[in-house]
Structure 1
Amino acid sequence: MKITKVEAIPFAIPYRKPLRFASGEVTEAAHVLVRVHTDDGLVGVAEAPPRPFTYGETQASIVAAVCGLFADLVIGLSPLEREQVRVRLGRTVGNPTAKAAIDMALWDLAGQSLGVSVTELLGGYGDRMRVAHMVGFAEPAEMVAEAGRVREQYGISTFKVKVGRRPIHLDVSACRALREAMPDAELYIDGNRGWTAAEAARALRAMTDLDLLFAEELCPADDVLGRRWLVGQSGIPMYADESVPTPGDVTRELLGGSATGVSIKTARTGFTGSHRVLAQCEGLGVEVVMGNQIDGQLGSLCSLAFGAAFEATSRQAGELSNFLDMADDLLTEPLEIRDGLLRVREAPGLGIDIDASKLAHYRTDRV
């Protein structure tokens, strides 16, 4: 089985309401569908969500990188030669989500060809994950209402609360309102680098009694001394996210004392890179959470496939519900969250079937 063609199809699906956080605002899922074809007629798929305010990638740059740089490097290889693919793509700096999408599509192909799910290929630990839901910037009452609706409708009881606003009391008030409304829920905060280390320390002191699970990326990655100081000040674990786009960055953040946990995102490290990150974290004795890059259903299914495959990634609820805010999606069989859980699909590979009519409607290259 050899790779014969690689496609990168841009598409855009609106959100029902804007998603707001410290590093930006998203009003539509302007993503890229990556498809890898083989001479056996199999097609592996994955989703690349650009985040220019985080990694510098845009929808156009992902299409250009996949079609103009990476396709020629992988055509003719077997989908099982993933390490060869990793090395070839690694010669180009950056472009993490473009590379990750190709990697995940190759795992999809491998699973299809062998007749097993990607979760089984990766580790096969479980077949489901608890789901965490992200609550974006809004007035406290609105954030409480959203969390309450999601909990009632989908059974989700873990919430990632976006923080990083100024003045900090806006976010402290919101977190306090959420805790008062849901005393038994799991809550953690994500600053998207919005605060200084001193502001973050003040906010954490003001929220000491809220029983937060952890705090994620409260201040910028290049504030090396401030981040180390903040870890020493904090009474809860401090997770790295945007600051760890590569395994090397993970090593730097953990050994440098700038973080005590890591958010793994298959959208930026694929399955191959995410496995390396997980192994590093296990070796260093730190916990992980399955993060979300505001993925659609396809990207969320990839996160689920990886997260359910390992015991360490299954301990905490994974961020698998951002697609609920999208007006539509591309899958013929939509994901269903029930009782706060998402189950892995039993079909070979990732179990993905793209709705051709929806893709034709939402693609933005109009071919």
Structure 2
Amino acid sequence: MRITAIRATPVAVPYRAEEVWAFGRRRGQVSVLIEVETDEGVTGLGEAAAYPSADIVLAVLRSIEPLVLGEDPFAVERLVRRIELVGTWHHVKATSPAIAAVEMACWDIAGKVCGQPLVNLLGGRFRDRVDCFYYVARGEPEQVAAEARLAVKSGFSTCYLKVGSDDPRADVERVEALRDGAGPDARLRVDANEAWAPGTAVRVIGELARFGLELVEQPVSGRDLAEMAYVRGRIDVPLLANEASWTRFDQLAVIRAGAADALSVDNQLDGGLLNLKRSAGIAEAAGLPVVKHSLGELGVALAAAVHAIAATPNFTYANQAYGALLADDVTVGFGGGIDAYDQGCVPVPTGPGLGVTLDAERVARYAELYREEGAAFTFSDPAALTRSHALPKF
């Protein structure tokens, strides 16, 4: 069997509430769906988050096409090493989502040919369903509390909220509202996206700790591991590395520096599902749990991640997913909004390969939306563009 073509379709799917982070906002998810075709008529599905943009993902796909066409989709290790080393793509992190989408599609092909769900090819089921957190859209305190109540009512055990506001006092008010809405038993996680200096982080996290936080994600720069270790040693809330933890090489450095209590891992940021498994293995050897990070994903990428997480023991926390924000999806009977989750969990698909099928009508609709309004779906904020930002904020 040989790969004969790669077809790419950018789509834009709206959120039901805007995603707001420390330096901007976005109104929906842009992903590049890919279909890898073979000379035996089997087609594999993949998905790349539009990071840092759909144009860059498409450019990378065009650039690696000569390295992929004619190759055996079963030879995943060989194919990825060919892209990374012969194509020299191992030097550039921003190319990873496109490479990961090709690798994902090859795994889909392998599972379809074998007649097995992907989880069985990645080690077999350690768990039957994958726990995900409820992404609470950042807003006024009363809106945050209402979203938290909806999360608990919908069966989610963990709520996630972006902090790193222009005024740290607003973060305290929102997290208090989050706890009030979620109740005493829910697990709460906050993410500052590197917005704070070390002293600010220690002070603000100290104020937030009374709300019983499960984890605080990347409170300070991910580029200074000594700074992270300093903060970690002065707070009572476990620290989750994210921007510091994008590849398995970064994760090894975080572990050596003693800079985090848990690590984010992401197959799209590190070029594939095999590397996700490697990241988890490195963390397990260090005695650390891992959490699946997401740049935003639709049903194809969610299914791929669920297969890998289900086959890997140390995913012990709720993982990042976008179901609480997405208004729709592009797959048949999988992914999409909050109704796709069962008590906050995603069941492992049982069909061969990824176990998902594209909905042609919705793909066409959201491809058209991307063509018409795609630029409006990127991380942007007219108000943010009029200000001069610094990192950290405080």
Report the equivalent of 1:358: 362
Is 1:60 the equivalent of 2:62? no
Q: What is the CA deviation profile of residues 50-98 of structure 1, one whole-angstrom value per residue up to 9, with x for unaligned ones?
A: 23xxxxx2100101111x2112101111112111122122222231111
Q: Indicate conservation of the 8 Å contact 2:137/2:325, yes or no.
A: no
Moved over 6 A (4+): none
CA distance in 1, matches of 2:266, 2:59: 22
Q: Indicate conservation of the 8 Å contact 2:226/2:257, yes or no.
A: no
Q: What is the CA deviation profile of residues 309-356 of structure 1, one whole-angstrom value per residue up to 9, with x for unaligned ones?
A: 12211x222223x13422322112233212222101100011111011
Report the equivalent of 2:107: 107
The residue type paired with residue 15 of structure 2 is Y
Cα RMSD over matched residues?
1.7
Shift, 1:266, TM fit:
2.7
Shift, 1:31, TM fit:
1.3
Shift, 1:180, TM fit:
2.9
Report the equivalent of 2:21: 21
Which SS does the other structure have where 1:14 is aligned? strand
Is 1:246 the equivalent of 2:240? no
Report the equivalent of 1:221: 222
Alignment of 1:1-367 (within 5 A): 1-51=1-51, 57-66=52-61, 68-90=62-84, 91-92=88-89, 93-94=92-93, 95-124=95-124, 125-152=126-153, 154-181=154-181, 182-269=183-270, 270-313=272-315, 315-320=316-321, 322-335=322-335, 336-364=340-368
Which stretch of the first structure deviates more once superposed, 91-100 or 347-356?
91-100
Identity of aligned residues (%): 29
Shift, 1:228, TM fit:
2.1
- TM-score of the aligned structures, taking structure 1 as reference length: 0.92
Q: Indicate conservation of the 8 Å contact 2:300/2:354, yes or no.
A: no
Q: Indicate conservation of the 8 Å contact 1:139/1:174, yes or no.
A: yes
CA distance in 2, matches of 1:44, 1:212: 40
Cα distance 1:114–1:191, how it changes in 2: closer, same or farther (>3 A)? same
Q: Indicate conservation of the 8 Å contact 1:11/1:33, yes or no.
A: yes
Shift, 1:183, TM fit:
0.6
Shift, 1:136, TM fit:
3.0
Q: Indicate conservation of the 8 Å contact 1:23/1:193, yes or no.
A: no
Q: Structure 1: state its 5+ residue gaps.
A: 52-56
Which SS does the other structure have where 2:32 is aligned? strand
Q: Indicate conservation of the 8 Å contact 2:145/2:180, yes or no.
A: no
Q: Structure 2: state its 5+ residue gaps.
A: 372-394
The residue type paired with residue 77 of structure 1 is E
The residue type paired with residue 128 of structure 1 is R
Between the two proteins, the alignment pairs up a number of residues equal to: 357
Which SS does the other structure have where 1:218 is aligned? coil
Report the equivalent of 1:54: none
Q: Indicate conservation of the 8 Å contact 1:266/1:302, yes or no.
A: no
CA distance in 1, matches of 2:267, 2:134: 17
Shift, 1:202, TM fit:
0.8
Which SS does the other structure have where 1:214 is aligned? strand
Q: Indicate conservation of the 8 Å contact 1:264/1:288, yes or no.
A: yes
Shift, 1:3, TM fit:
1.1
Shift, 1:160, TM fit:
1.3
Which SS does the other structure have where 1:7 is aligned? strand
Which SS does the other structure have where 1:310 is aligned? coil
CA distance in 2, matches of 1:38, 1:218: 45
Q: Indicate conservation of the 8 Å contact 1:96/1:245, yes or no.
A: no
CA distance in 2, matches of 1:69, 1:223: 33
The residue type paired with residue 189 of structure 2 is Y
